[in-house]
């Protein structure tokens, strides 16, 4: 029985592609997670700015409350002015009023500073929100793209699996078994093409006698070094040309 090199080679190509597609598909949830993380990070910036604003507003209300209390105090002092009996008491009350008014003035300055700060924070919120929207828009596009890629990969995988189902019965069981045995040990790669005089996967030099046998294609020959099934592959025209160029120069 001849060796089904052509089918074995195709099987290897299918398995290689399936492996790539699987690792791509397995990696997709992690990519989606990364995108979600970007959105979360951006949104957190807005939350932070909003928190800053609410702290600012809370502080301003406190300052306004203090001011209000002090104003009430002044009212009371002014009322007391009418009732004092001595000059000393009178002057002392005036002094209290003056000092309290100074405290009010300072508080009002603080309130104005808080108001200005609030304007800045609101501006910041506006800016960061716009950035978040951009990030979200971009992320949505990226996700959409991933979904498309996923669909394409799944379709491709189904096609390949179908082809594989039709292909494997055409390979003699012992050849298929050998293929699977080597593939299991060699990260899924059971076949190695021989270019020039080398096993293309482990770069072991192949003896000329073996190369002749490979060209005949009648027996299975394993690479003495990596144990893979060797097969002869003619150099493409491009490779042959560059080889000729190398000889000339």
Residues at the site binding Zn ion, with contacts judged by CB under 5 A: 199, 202, 204, 223, 225-226
Minimum CB distance to Zn ion smaller for 217 or for 227: 227
CA end-to-end span of the chain: 45
Q: How many Cβ atoms from other residues are within 10 Å of residue 89's Cβ? A: 13
Hey, what are 223's tokens? 């690479």
Provide the minimum distance between the beta carbon of 215 and Zn ion in the complex, in angstroms, as a whole number: 17
Minimum CB distance to Zn ion smaller for 101 or for 225: 225
Provide the minimum distance between the beta carbon of 189 and Zn ion in the complex, in angstroms, as a whole number: 10
Q: What's the rounded Cα separation, in Å, for the pair 8 and 55?
A: 71
Residue 100's DSSP bridge partners are: none
Minimum CB distance to Zn ion smaller for 5 or for 77: 5
Dump strand ranges (E) for the chain.
191-195, 198-199, 229-232
Q: 95 near 101, Cβ under 8 Å?
A: no
Minimum CB distance to Zn ion smaller for 125 or for 182: 182
Provide the minimum distance between the beta carbon of 197 and Zn ion in the complex, in angstroms, as a whole number: 12
Minimum CB distance to Zn ion smaller for 121 or for 190: 190
Q: How far is CA 10 from CA 3, 55, 164, 168, 169, in A?
A: 13, 67, 9, 10, 13
Provide the minimum distance between the beta carbon of 19 and Zn ion in the complex, in angstroms, as a whole number: 19
Provide the minimum distance between the beta carbon of 1 and Zn ion in the complex, in angstroms, as a whole number: 25
């Amino acid at each position: 029985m001849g060796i089904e090199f052509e089918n074995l080679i195709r099987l290897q190509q299918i398995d290689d592609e399936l492996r790539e597609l699987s690792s791509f598909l397995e990696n997709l949830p992690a990519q989606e997670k990364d995108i979600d993380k970007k959105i979360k990070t951006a949104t957190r910036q807005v939350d932070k700015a909003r928190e800053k604003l609410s702290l600012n507003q809370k502080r301003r209300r406190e300052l306004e409350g203090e001011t209000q209390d002090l104003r009430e105090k002044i009212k009371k002092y002014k009322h007391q002015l009418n009732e004092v009996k001595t000059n000393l008491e009178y002057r002392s009350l005036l002094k209290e009023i003056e000092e309290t008014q100074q405290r009010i003035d300072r508080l009002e300055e603080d309130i104005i500073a808080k108001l200005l700060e609030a304007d800045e924070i609101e501006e910041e919120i506006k800016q960061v929100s716009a950035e978040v929207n951009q990030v979200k828009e971009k992320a949505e596009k990226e996700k959409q793209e991933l979904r498309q890629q996923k669909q394409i990969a799944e379709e491709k995988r189904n096609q390949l699996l179908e082809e594989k189902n039709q292909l494997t019965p055409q390979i003699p069981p012992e050849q298929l078994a050998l293929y699977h045995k080597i593939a299991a040990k060699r990260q899924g790669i059971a076949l190695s093409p021989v270019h020039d005089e080398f096993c293309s996967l482990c770069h072991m030099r192949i003896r000329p006698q073996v190369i002749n046998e490979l060209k005949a294609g009648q027996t299975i020959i394993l690479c003495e070094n990596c144990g893979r099934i060797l097969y002869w592959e003619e150099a493409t025209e491009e490779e042959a040309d560059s080889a000729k160029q190398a000889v000339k120069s």
